[in-house]
């Protein structure tokens, strides 16, 4: 079964608030990926992380590759209405062809 | 843009019928993947392919068949559709490093 635990499952926040979500595993990964999915569309890559401890930003989004290589975090600062959607983490293990996904975090923004 | 096109985008079929979902890439990416997305389960890997004529099972392969006679095409066939196969299906390709890019999805309803 799936090996990535993503939390929280859903979030309700006010516009302007910061958002944090994370992904953990009992396995070690050599790549962590974060995707966003808008309704009716396929997931779109936000950030890719390749090295333990790496911190990478994409606009208001910042993601980190955990030091243990078993977790990753995504932060969104000053949320806006278009941030609504489902955020997925994904990981790739060394010597494995597959990329495994978490179950997603559904972000809702209250007016 | 990884140039991934899925067809059909929407399909309604009857239980027991054979259905084929097409996936075409405009580039020559080696790795291609099929995922299904269901509420509460996130994205689960059905099958993947490392190159033409090389395919392998993912997490949920039962009831599905794939082929890869040409690098640019990776069709997914449901040999005898069941209601439990009602889902959204995403084709993806590995573009650079360990990152993958998705098509827009195929919405399948089995009645």
Q: What is the pLDDT of residue B29?
A: 85
Note whether A56 and A69 are within 8 A (CB). Answer: no
pLDDT of residue B27: 83
What confidence category does residue B95 fall into, taking pLDDT thresholds of 50, 70 and 90? confident
Query: Strand, helix or coil at A41?
Result: coil
Number of residues written out for chain B: 111
Asked if B45's CB is within 8 angstroms of A98's CB, the reply is yes
Name the residue facing A88 among B42, B48, B94 (closest C-beta).
B42
Is A92 within 8 Å of chain B by CB?
Answer: yes
CB A23 within 8 A of CB A6: yes
* Beta-carbon contacts of residue A27 (< 8 Å; ≥ 6 apart): A3, A70, A91, A93
Distance, CA of B49 to CA of A68 (rounded, Å) = 30
- What backbone torsions phi and psi does residue B101 show, to the nearest 5 degrees? -120, 145
pLDDT of residue B83: 97
> Which residues pair with residue A31 across a beta bridge?
A92
Task: Write out pLDDT tens, residues A16-72.
Answer: 999 999 999 999 999 999 999 998 899 999 999 999 999 999 999 999 999 999 999
Residues on chain B touching A44 (C-beta within 8 angstroms): 102
pLDDT of residue A2: 56
H/E stretch holding B101: strand B100-102
Predicted pLDDT of residue A80: 96
A29 in contact with B at a CB cutoff of 8 Å?
no
Chain A CA closest to residue B1:
A44
Closest-CA residue in chain B for A88?
Answer: B42
What's the start-to-end Cα distance of chain A, in Å?
37
Q: Is the CB of A33 less than 8 angstroms away from the CB of B99?
A: yes
Segment B8-67, tens digit of pLDDT: 999 999 999 999 999 999 888 889 999 999 988 889 999 999 999 999 999 999 999 999
- Alpha helix locations (H) across chain B? none
- The residues on B that touch A, with CB distances below 8 Å, are 31, 33, 35, 40-45, 48, 50, 56, 58-59, 90, 92, 94, 97-105
* CB-defined contacts A:B, below 8 A: 64
How much is the pLDDT for A60?
97
Q: How confident is the model at residue A94 (pLDDT cuts 50, 70, 90)?
A: confident
Residues of A in contact with B100 (CB under 8 A): 33, 45, 90, 99
The closest of A11, A35, A12 to A21, measured between CA atoms, is A11
Specify whether the CB–CB gap between A87 and A74 falls below 8 A.
yes
Peptide linkage before A8 cis (omega within 30 of 0): yes
Q: Are the CB atoms for A59 and A107 separated by under 8 Å?
A: no
Distance from CA of B44 to the nearest CA of A (A): 7
Task: Note the pLDDT of residue A88.
Answer: 97
């Amino acid at each position: 079964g799936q090996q990535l635990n993503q939390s929280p499952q859903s979030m309700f926040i006010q516009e302007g608030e910061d958002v944090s979500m994370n992904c953990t595993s009992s396995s070690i990964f050599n790549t962590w990926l974060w995707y966003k999915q808008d309704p009716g569309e396929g997931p779109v890559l936000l950030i890719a992380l390749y090295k333990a401890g790496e911190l990478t930003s994409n606009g208001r989004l910042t993601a980190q590759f955990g030091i243990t290589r078993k977790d990753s975090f995504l932060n969104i600062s000053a949320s806006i209405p278009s941030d609504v959607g489902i955020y997925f983490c994904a990981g790739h293990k060394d010597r494995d062809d597959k990329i495994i996904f978490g179950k997603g975090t559904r972000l809702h923004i209250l007016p | 843009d990884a140039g991934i096109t899925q067809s059909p985008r929407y399909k309604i079929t009857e239980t027991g019928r054979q259905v084929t979902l097409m996936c075409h890439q405009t580039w020559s990416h080696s790795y291609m993947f099929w995922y299904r997305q269901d509420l509460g389960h996130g994205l689960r890997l059905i099958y993947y392919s490392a190159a033409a004529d090389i395919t392998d099972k993912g997490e949920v392969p039962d009831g599905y068949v794939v082929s890869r006679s040409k690098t640019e095409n990776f069709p997914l066939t449901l040999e005898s559709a069941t209601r439990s196969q009602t889902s959204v299906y995403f084709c993806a390709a590995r573009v650079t490093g360990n990152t993958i890019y998705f098509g827009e999805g195929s919405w399948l309803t089995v009645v």
